[in-house]
Amino acid sequence: GAGVSQTPSNKVTEKGKYVELRCDPISGHTALYWYRQSLGQGPEFLIYFQGTGAADDSGLPNDRFFAVRPEGSVSTLKIQRTERGDSAVYLCASSLVGGASRNTGELFFGEGSRLTVL
Amino acid sequence: LAKTTQPVSMDSYEGQEVNITCSHNNIATNDYITWYQQFPSQGPRFIIQGYKTKVTNEVASLFIPADRKSSTLSLPRVSLSDTAVYYCLVGPIWNSGNTPLVFGKGTRLSVIA
């Protein structure tokens, strides 16, 4: 379909390993967001891209987390030296910024990547 | 960003109308009110958005009083498939800024047969 695609859907890794999570947004959406969701909690903002640049990375918990979007489309969230506390569902969303007055800024979410750190 | 407060959980029987109220006392002039729905193992999905008075679409209605310090999401005649977590968010539409949307814990609605 034409929705937001996230891979892998599930990732199990060991403490200390490096992990990459990929997000393929809806074509034409210039804004891309990463959120993290723990069980029973709402999505927690991590980082927002407008085009290729990170417009707001204030939600990244520490320097082990990094995200890129080199061509303004696909984004990769990178987590170094994973810890058990990083276990969560990582959600990606995209939206259409600007344009018609009827644009609601609606976020279109993918189904998430479930990360389990053992 | 305006902080929101909504009930942690609600129960309803099938066929009833459900009203979920969200408080946002510090809402700013350029803030809109947006509701999302989330099913297990899925990302949140946009339901409805409004600025003032009443908005209705094929899924829900959104009631916003004149002072805009609260809003009520109304789901008519709920079914079992409406069991989900509902989030109320307040913030500017993207045309006017880069502020990321902040999700609270949401309201867990359980619809009972």
Mean pLDDT by 10 residues, chain A (118 residues): 91 98 94 94 93 90 96 96 98 77 77 97
Residues of A in Cβ contact (< 8 Å) with B41:
111-112
pLDDT at B96 over 60: no
Amino acid B108: pLDDT: 97
Residue B40 contacts A where some CB pair is shorter than 8 Å: no
Amino acid A56: pLDDT: 87
Amino acid A55: pLDDT: 85
Residue B75, helix vs strand vs coil: strand
Residue A1 contacts B where some CB pair is shorter than 8 Å: no
Chain position carrying tokens 């979920």: B20
Q: Say how far apart CA A62 and CA A79 lie, in whole Å.
A: 10
Percent composition of chain B: helix, strand, coil (DSSP 3-state, to 5): 5, 50, 45
Amino acid A100: pLDDT: 47
Amino acid A82: pLDDT: 98
Strand B61-64 and strand B53-56: pairing? antiparallel
Residues of B in Cβ contact (< 8 Å) with A49:
none
* Peptide linkage before A8 cis (omega within 30 of 0): yes
Residues of A in Cβ contact (< 8 Å) with B44:
43, 91, 107, 109
pLDDT tens readout for residues B42-77? 999 999 999 999 999 999 999 999 999 999 999 999
pLDDT at B1 over 90: no
Average pLDDT of chain B, as a whole number: 91
Q: Which residue has the higher pLDDT, B18 or B2?
A: B18
* Residue ranges in chain A assigned as alpha helix (H): none
Which pair of tokens denotes residue B24? 């946002």
Q: What is the DSSP letter of A100?
A: S
For chain B, what percent of residues have pLDDT higher than 70? 93
Q: Which residue has the higher pLDDT, B96 or B21?
A: B21
